[in-house]
Structure 1
Amino acid sequence: IPAEPLFRSLTAFIGIPALLKKRSDLPADVMESIRMLEKSGVKMLDMINKSMDLYKMEAGTYKTCPVPVELVRIVEQIGFELSNYLSAKSIRLQICINDNEVSAGAKFYVRGEETLCYAMLANFLKNALEACPANETVKISFFDEPRVRVTVNNPGVIPLEIRDKFLHKFASHGKIGGTGLGGYSARLMAQAMGGSVSFTSDEASGTTIVIDFAVDSRLASAECNIGDLRALVIDDNEMLLFTIREILRSIGLYRIETMADTDSARAYLRSGQAVQLIILDWNFSAGSCRELFRRIRADEDFKKVPLLVISSEPVDEEVRVAIDEGSVELLSKPFSPDLLLKKVEGFMARMLQLCVKVVN
C-alpha cells in the first residue's frame, strides 16, 4: 500500500482531535475520547514510519545519519520502561562496561542513530527478559576493544527447534502471538548502522546476543558534548512545546528554550545567547512567522544554525527555496516522535560543530 494516502488520511485523524481539544464546551468524557483518538493516530503514524524504515533496510536503501549516541542512558531508560516486567519476575538488569559494573554517571558513546540504537536494544532486552527464568540476572555489557561490541546475556536457552533460524522472520517458539519480527528487525537495525549480530546458546552460559558495531563507531567521551547543545523551540501550542521538549530530552538535549510567541523569540535572539538548533512552528500568523524567519536567515550567526520548520499548511516560497537549498528542513504535521528525532539527528554533526566553535 503506498504510504502517501495513509499519511493524508492520518492528517485528519490526528488533526481534527487537535482542533477539538481547543474547545471548552466539551464534557470531560468526550475530551478523554478525543485524546485517545489522537494518541491512536500518532501511534499508527509511528508504526507506518517504522515499517517504511524496515522496508528500506531490507532493500538496502536506508540511509543512516550517524551521531554520537550514549548507550548506558538508553539501557537505563529501557530498564525503567520494563520495570514492571523486571519486578514481576524478580529479574536484575546488570549493566557493565569492559566487564566492570557501571557506577552512577557512567557513559559509553558510539556513533550510530539514536532511534535505531534504542529500538534495537529494546528488542533484544525485552526478548532476554521474556526468556530469562525468574530470580535471575540479565546482563548487558559494552566493550571498546578490539572493536565496539555490545552483548546481552540471559540464563535461558534458545530451543533447538528454532536455533538455526533465530533472528530470522517468523522464528518463534512457545510464545503466544510471537512472530520473531522483533529480533529480525533488531538485526536489520544493527546492519543498517554497519554492524552485525551473532549469538551463542548453551546450557552452561545461557544465551548471549553479540552486537558488533562498525569499526569506526567508538567515540571517546571527550568528543561528545550533546549535553552542551542548546535548542530554541518556538510554538504557540503549549502542549506541542511540551511534547517537542520531551522528545529532544530523550536523546540527551536538555538545554531547551521554549517560546510561545515570536516576540519572545526575537528578544531571545537579540540577547546574543548561542543556540545550535531552532525549531519554528509555521502556524502563527503568516506575518510574524515570515518576519522571524527572515530575521534568522539575515543574521550571519543564526543563518548557520540548523532550522527546522514545522507546519500543517503550505509554507512561503522563500522557505521552500531555503529547503531546496538544504539549509532548512521541513517537518509536516502530523509527525511522530521518530520523524522529529530523525530530522534532529540529521542536523547533529552541524550542531556539534557549532557548539565546538562556541566553546573554543
Structure 2
Amino acid sequence: MLEVRPSDTASVSLTEYFSVLEDPGRALTLADVQSTDVAGRFQADYPAGDTLNFGYSRSAYWLRLTLNNTSDQALQRMLEVQYPGITSIQFHQPTVGAAPVSVEAGSVMPFAARPYANRFFVFPLQVAAHAQQTVYLRVRSHGPITLPTRLWEPQAFHAYERSDYMAQAWYFGIAAAMILFNLLLFVALWDVAYLLYVAFVSSMALTMAAQNGLAKEFLWNDAPLWSNIATSVGYSYSLAALLVFMRYILHTRRVIPHSDRLLKPLVGVYLAAPMGFSLALPVLVKPAALLYGATGALVLVMGVWCAFKRQRIAYFFLAAFAVLCLAAIVSVLRALGWLPTNPFTVNALQFGSGLEMMLLAFALADRFNTMRREKSLAQKEALVAQQRLVESLQASERVLEERVQQRTAELDTKNVALTQAMSSLETVERIARHDLKTPLGSLVAAPALLRAGRVMNAQEERVLCMMESAANRALHMVNLSLDLYRMENGSYVVAPACVDLTALVKSVLQDLSAHARSKSVSMEVTDPLGHVFASGEESLCYSIVANLVKNAVEAAPEHSVVRVALHDGPLVGVRIHNHGAVLASMRDRFFTKYATDGKQGGTGLGAYSSHLLAQVQGGSLSMETSDALGTTLTLELNPWTGGADFDVPVGAASNGAAPVVREPQALGAQSVLLVDDDDFNRMVMQAQLQYAELEVEAAINGSEALEMVMRRRPDLIFMDIEMPIMGGLEALQRIRDFQAQAAQKPSVIVAYSGSDDAQSHARYLAHGFDHCLNKPGTQQAFLDLLHASQARMA
C-alpha cells in the first residue's frame, strides 16, 4: 500500500507497490480479478526499482495498486506508464456504490482515446480523504512488456512534462538541422555519402519518434496497424541505411571483402521486413530484436577492423556507433531496473542517437577536408607534373629544333644532289634526244632520198615503206620513253591533232602480223563505214594500240582470234578482245605500275603506260575480264572536231604509201645556211632544198657557221642545237650580236632539233630563234619556212 500525502512533490516509482497477476489465457475481467479466488493469486513484494519487466510474452498482466489517503482532503494524482509501445493498456478505478471508471488506451487505439494527451500513457485519478483507493491496470503487448510506472503530483508532473517535451524538441531539432545541412551539402558537392547520411538520420529520427510516442501523438494518431509496427519498421530501415552508409564511407568492399558479402543480403532482409511485420508481428518481433543485436555486433566488428586498417574515417564511425551501442545498453539496463530512472537514462537512446549523428557529421566533415587536402595535393602534384611536362616539352622542342635543323641540312644536301641529278637527267635526256633521235631521223628521211629521181618497183617500194615505218616506230618509242616522266608529274603538254584510228589500227595489225602468226593467233578488225578520227597525238595513240594488241596476242590461246573493233559516237575508240582471262590476283591492279603476273620479260609498265597515255590525251582505258568471256580492253578518246581540211591524215604515212606534198609556190632567190654536225642530216636537208632559186651552204658546227655569216649574210639559217666546238644557242647569240654591230638585217634563224616537246620549243624561242623545226623535217615543213623567210624579206 502506498501512502499519499498533500505534501508529496516528487514522483514515486510504483514498482514495489504493485501486485501482479499473469493471465496466460487473456480471459480474466475486472470482476474476476476482484473476486476472492483470483485476488489471492496476485503476487506482491517486487523489489524496489523503476520498471517491471516481463519480457516478450503473449500473456496479459493485471497490476493492482492500493493508495491510502490519511489527510482531510481528496488528493489528485497522475499515474504515468513511461512506455508508449504497449499494444493495449486498461485502467480501472473501482468506486463504492458506483460503476468503476475504466479507460482503454494503447498503440493500436486512437490517440484521442487517452484520458490525458501525452506521448506516454497518463491516467489522472483521485483519492478521497481518509480513504483507500485500489486501481487496476491490464497490459498486453506484441513486443516486450516493460512497465516503468510513476505516480505524480499534478503540478510536478506538468513541470516534468514541459522539460520532457523540450528535450524531445532539442533532439528532433538537431536531427532536422543535420538532415537539411547534409542535404544541401549533397546538392552542392553531389557526393552520395551525404545523401546516404540523410537517409540514415531521417530513418533514425522517425524511429525515435515512433518509439517514444511522439509519432503517435503528432503523425499517425489513428493508424492502428502502422502504429503497432512503426518502431520495428523504423529500426529495420535505419539499420539498412546505416549498413549502406558504412559500406560507402569505409570502402568495406575493398578493405574487408569477405565480411562485405554479408551486408548486401542483410540490407535486403531489412528492406523486406515491413511486409513480415505487417503479417506476423508477434512471431517476428523477438527474432528481429536478436537480428538487430547481431547486426550491431557485426557493424562494431567491421568498424574496429577498418580502424585497424588505419582508415581515418573509421575512427569517427567507430566512436559514433559505440556511443549508440552504449546508449542502447543504458536503456536496456534501465528497463531491467539495474539503472535508476532519470532524464538521462529515460532518453539515453535519443542522447546516443544525437551524439552518433553529430559524430558521423564530423566524420563527413573530416572526409570532406581529407578530400580537399587530397585534391589540393593532387593539384600541387599536377602543377609540378605540368611544370615538368613544360620543361620536358621545352627540352623536346630544343631537341626537335636541333633535329629539324639537322634534317633541313640533310634535305638541303639532298636537294643539291637532286638538283644535280635532275641536271644530269636533263643532260642524259638531251644526249638521248640528240644521239638517238638524230640517226633515227636520218633513217626516217633516207627512203625519201632513195625515191628522189627514181622509179621504184613494187618490191623496192615495199622495203622502203617497211624501213620508213620501222624508223618512225623507233623514233616514236624514243620520244615516248623520254616523255613518260613529264606525263607522270603533269608537266607534259599535249599537242592534239587529227588521228586516223582506222589507218592506225591497220598499220598496227600489219606490224604485228608476223608475231601473231608465230603463235597461231589470227587478228580481225571491225570498223564502221568510213574512217574514225580522234583528237590526240599519233605517236601516243600508236603506242597504246600496239601495246594492247601485242599483249592480247600473247595472252590469247593458240588457234584463237584477237578481235579489234573501232567505234564512233560521242567518244571514239578501240575495243580489243581475246579469249584469255587476266589472273584474279592481277585484276584489281592491272593498271598499277610494275604490276606483273610473272610473265617472262614482263616489266609491269605496258598496261600502266597505256593507261597513262590515254589519260594524258583526255581519254580513258578500261578492262573487263572473266574466265568465261575472256578479256576486253576499251580505249576511248575525244573525237576530232577540227574539220577535214588536210591532205593526209596523221598516221596515214605509216600504212605503206608515200606522203603527198602540196605543189610548191614560187620561191624567190634566197641564201640558206644549213648548220648540223651530222653528215647524213646535212645531206637530207640539202636534198629537201634542191630548188634553183636557193643558194645553199652548209656548216658542221656553230663556230664555222659564225665565220660564214661574217663573210656573207644568209637569209635563212637552219641551226642544230647540240654540236661540238660551238652549240646552236651560243652560235645564235654570236650571230645576233655580230649582225647588230654590223647593222645587218637579222637573218631568219630556225632551231632544227630532235627536242620536239613544247617546253624545248618555248626555250628556243625565248633565246631568240625565229622558228622551231623538228628532226627529221619534211619537205613541206622546209618549204613553209622558206615562204615565211621570203615574206619577211619582202
Same-fold status (TM-score > 0.5): yes
Corresponding residue for 1:84? Answer: 514
- Correspondence for 2:647 among 212, 225, 232: 225
Corresponding residue for 1:95? Answer: 525
- Correspondence for 2:558 among 134, 152, 174: 134
Computing the radius of gyration from Cα coordinates, the structure with the larger value is 2
Provide Cα deviations, 1:226-260, integer angstroms capped at 9, x if missing partner. Answer: 3665499x979784489x7xxxxxxxxxxxxx743
Matches within 5 A, 1:50-61: 50-61=480-491
Corresponding residue for 2:178? Answer: none
Does residue 541 of structure 2 align to residue 110 of structure 1? no
Does residue 736 of structure 2 align to residue 293 of structure 1? no
Conserved? CA contact 1:152–1:210, under 8 Å? yes
**Helix, strand or coil at the partner of 1:156:** coil
- Correspondence for 2:602 among 152, 155, 178: 178
How far the C-alpha of 1:177 sits from its partner, in A, is 2.8
Corresponding residue for 1:148? Answer: 572
Change (3 A) 1:15 1:84: closer
How far the C-alpha of 1:119 sits from its partner, in A, is 0.9
- Separation of aligned partners in 2, 1:150 and 1:44: 23
Percent of pairs with identical residues: 30
- Correspondence for 1:328 among 766, 771, 785: 771
**How many correspondences in the alignment?**
269
For 1:113, the aligned partner's letter is: E
How far the C-alpha of 1:59 sits from its partner, in A, is 1.4
Conserved? CA contact 1:140–1:151, under 8 Å? yes
Change (3 A) 1:203 1:69: same
- Separation of aligned partners in 2, 1:281 and 1:133: 56
Corresponding residue for 1:72? Answer: 502
Q: Which runs of 5+ in 2 are unaligned?
A: 1-420, 440-472, 650-659, 665-671, 737-746, 752-764, 789-794
**Helix, strand or coil at the partner of 1:170:** coil
Provide Cα deviations, 1:32-62, integer angstroms capped at 9, x if missing partner. Answer: xxxxxxxxxxx99987753441122111221
Conserved? CA contact 1:109–1:220, under 8 Å? no
Provide Cα deviations, 1:49-104, integer angstroms capped at 9, x if missing partner. Answer: 53441122111221100011112222222223222211111222212114xxx8xx
Corresponding residue for 2:591? Answer: 167
Conserved? CA contact 1:158–1:207, under 8 Å? yes
Conserved? CA contact 1:132–1:156, under 8 Å? yes
Corresponding residue for 1:301? Answer: none
Does residue 683 of structure 2 align to residue 260 of structure 1? no
Matches within 5 A, 1:239-258: 239-240=680-681
How far the C-alpha of 1:290 sits from its partner, in A, is 6.0
For 1:185, the aligned partner's letter is: S
Conserved? CA contact 1:94–1:138, under 8 Å? yes
Conserved? CA contact 2:577–2:630, under 8 Å? yes
**Helix, strand or coil at the partner of 1:128:** helix
- Separation of aligned partners in 2, 1:150 and 1:14: 30
How far the C-alpha of 1:9 sits from its partner, in A, is 5.3
- Separation of aligned partners in 2, 1:81 and 1:241: 31
Conserved? CA contact 1:309–1:329, under 8 Å? no
Change (3 A) 1:231 1:179: farther
Corresponding residue for 2:337? Answer: none
For 1:127, the aligned partner's letter is: N
Conserved? CA contact 2:749–2:769, under 8 Å? no
Conserved? CA contact 1:259–1:265, under 8 Å? no
Does residue 448 of structure 2 align to residue 5 of structure 1? no
Segment of structure 1 superposing worse, 139-148 or 283-292: 283-292
Conserved? CA contact 1:108–1:221, under 8 Å? no
Provide Cα deviations, 1:310-351, integer angstroms capped at 9, x if missing partner. Answer: 4544244355699347750155xxx7x7xx79xx9xx9xx99
How far the C-alpha of 1:185 sits from its partner, in A, is 0.3
For 2:648, the aligned partner's letter is: I
TM-score (norm 1): 0.60
Corresponding residue for 1:253? Answer: none
Corresponding residue for 1:188? Answer: 612
Conserved? CA contact 1:282–1:310, under 8 Å? no
**Helix, strand or coil at the partner of 1:65:** coil
Conserved? CA contact 1:162–1:173, under 8 Å? yes
How far the C-alpha of 1:6 sits from its partner, in A, is 1.6
How far the C-alpha of 1:4 sits from its partner, in A, is 2.8
Q: Which runs of 5+ in 1 are unaligned?
A: 17-42, 245-257, 270-279, 295-307, 355-360
Segment of structure 1 superposing worse, 62-71 or 139-148: 139-148
TM-score (norm 2): 0.29
Change (3 A) 1:203 1:15: closer
- Separation of aligned partners in 2, 1:201 and 1:139: 15
Change (3 A) 1:66 1:282: farther
- Separation of aligned partners in 2, 1:220 and 1:205: 38
- Separation of aligned partners in 1, 2:501 and 2:646: 13
Provide Cα deviations, 1:201-242, integer angstroms capped at 9, x if missing partner. Answer: 11332111111113xx2358844433665499x979784489
Conserved? CA contact 2:581–2:627, under 8 Å? yes
Conserved? CA contact 2:716–2:749, under 8 Å? no
- Separation of aligned partners in 2, 1:81 and 1:169: 26
- Separation of aligned partners in 1, 2:572 and 2:436: 43
Conserved? CA contact 1:311–1:330, under 8 Å? no
Kindly report the root-mean-square deviation, in angstroms, between the aligned alpha carbons of the 2 structures. Answer: 4.5
**Helix, strand or coil at the partner of 2:623:** strand
Segment of structure 1 superposing worse, 74-83 or 163-172: 74-83
Conserved? CA contact 2:497–2:535, under 8 Å? yes
Conserved? CA contact 1:148–1:218, under 8 Å? no
**Helix, strand or coil at the partner of 1:210:** strand
- Separation of aligned partners in 2, 1:141 and 1:229: 32
